[in-house]
Chain A
Amino acid sequence: MSALPTIKDEEWRYADFDVVGQFAPETIDNWQEIAVPAGETMRECMVIDGSDPFMRRIRISVGAGGRAELFAVNACADYARLEVQVTLAEGAHFEFGGVTIGGGDAVREFVTRTCHGAPDATSNQVVRAVHWGQATGNFLGRIDVGRDGQRTDAAQDFKGLLLEKGASANAKPELEIYADDVKCAHGAAIGQMDEMARFYMASRGLAPDVARRLLIRAFIADAFAALEDEGEAERMFAAALDVLEDAER
């Protein structure tokens, strides 16, 4: 068993250790291993919407020319962490779309580590965080480009929307690059609701809850833009937006 995490570990720095301390060591050490064979595509859409603390750790190894797609809504009522480590073979792709959404005082987080150790692999990660109350949304995305990771194209995009004072969002991109022909893009922005847009919508007769749902749907849409299965995309939108009903106007 590896050493238990502490708040001094970079990938745990925004975690809720009051809760992490209660996890059994074997829960923390439980990594699920997934191998995507060369040339194949794996897709998983997950909704985390329970009321108990949640942690899932996945290691994905994507074979040459393969593709791993992971989409997640993290709307857990308590601390919830989805941690993904991806190793990409030559020409492989990793797609991640995540939404953390919710109020209360819970910490909801996505932690990814993407290893571009082989040439021509690509990755694209889009995370949106929508929070109110005292809640926190985190995205920690580490990208390692090894010496052989030439022509890597890796992108990370994070946006946070805070509906109330007291809520927070943390974004921590981390890049380590040892190859010289590499594209790594990352962007992060945090803001609040556009009040003028809300008034404009109200002036056309949209009830405040309908207007807010439309605006937040538009805000999180980028996270599921790469999800081609429309039925699954709608399921993800519904899971994220239904949580809004708990939020104050």
Chain B
Amino acid sequence: MLKIENLHAEVTSDSGAKKILKGLTLEVGAGEVHAIMGPNGAGKSTLAYVLGGRPGYEVTEGSVTFMGEDLLAMDPHERAASGMFLGFQYPVEIPGVSNVQFLREALNSQRRTRGEEPLSGGEFLKLAKEKAGLLKLDMEMLKRFVNVGFSGGEKKRAEMVHMGILDPKLAVLDETDSGLDIDALKIVGQGINTIMRSPDKGVLLITHYQRLLDYVKPDHVHVLADGRIVKSGGPELALQLENEGYEAVAA
């Protein structure tokens, strides 16, 4: 479903371009959950942003195909409409725009791009209520402005409600577990399982720690270091990393 080949990417900022991804190859098949772990600065968030198409994150070499299409040729909103969901490590606050308005516009914008009929206000609210309930997020929160005044845990839970409503084929979740307490971690983990555990869906979980993987059992674990996948294995690799550290395992 997602095929990344020899991906090189650099990040452009005021201080110039910096190479971050240096030949990353990875394939996520339908029905699979992949976890990418790695130390700070390895390129984990860059990978997520490159897949999402964030401006300033430029691919210099390699290719990414998603559902048989050239992902890199699509604009960010087209990637979303084609079934990719990017979960943010730091969800963005948007004052003045309510969650309900934001999500309804997002879902209907996706549906229009796919040539489907938009949902009515009533249909949308029913869907939003169901997904908010799944993540134990108070419906009142969805009437508030997007992420404004939300705690770290509420932001991540709201991200999962977004995912539930948008119902993507592939979720790329960038450190969705950071900033979560133990209970929230469990709820978010169960949310990922409920929404994304399906033979026709895939998940790419980017994380520092093993603990989320207790709830969302990965089929494959990869170690990202210095812009490349340096080791791949099964769930046991995550445990080994937790016990021995990145340096020992990735060396």
Contacts and interface: CB of A to CB of B under 8 A. Distances in A.
Interface of A: 194-197, 199-208, 210-211, 214-215, 217-219, 221
Contacts of A204: 80, 102-103, 106, 162, 166
Interface string B209-227: 0000000000000000000
B64 interface: no
Contacts of B53: 202-203
A197 B81 contact: no
B97 A214 contact: yes
Interface in B65-92: 75-77, 79-81, 85-86, 88, 91-92
A48 B228 CA distance: 57
Nearest to A219: B96
Given A207-B113, A214-B101, A202 B94 contact: no
Contact of A217 (B77, B96, B166): B96
A197 B92 contact: yes
B113 to A, nearest CB: 7
A93 B205 CA distance: 57
Given A205-B109, A214-B97, 10 more contacts: A199-B52, A200-B92, A201-B102, A202-B53, A203-B76, A203-B77, A205-B80, A206-B106, A207-B112, A211-B77
Contacts of B101: 214
Contacts of B110: 205
A111 B68 CA distance: 58
A159 B52 CA distance: 31
The A interface, classified by DSSP as helix, strand, loop or mixed, is: helix
The 5 closest A-B pairs by CB, nearest first: A218-B96, A205-B80, A202-B76, A205-B110, A200-B92
A101 to B, nearest CB: 16
B105 interface: yes
Identify whether the interface residues of B are mostly helix, strand, loop, or mixed. helix
Contacts of B107: 205
Interface string B94-133: 1111000111011101101100000000000000000000
Given A203-B76, A203-B80, A205-B80, A195 B105 contact: no
Contact of B97 (A199, A202, A207, A215): A215
B190 to A, nearest CB: 22
B58 to A, nearest CB: 14
A208 B81 CA distance: 13
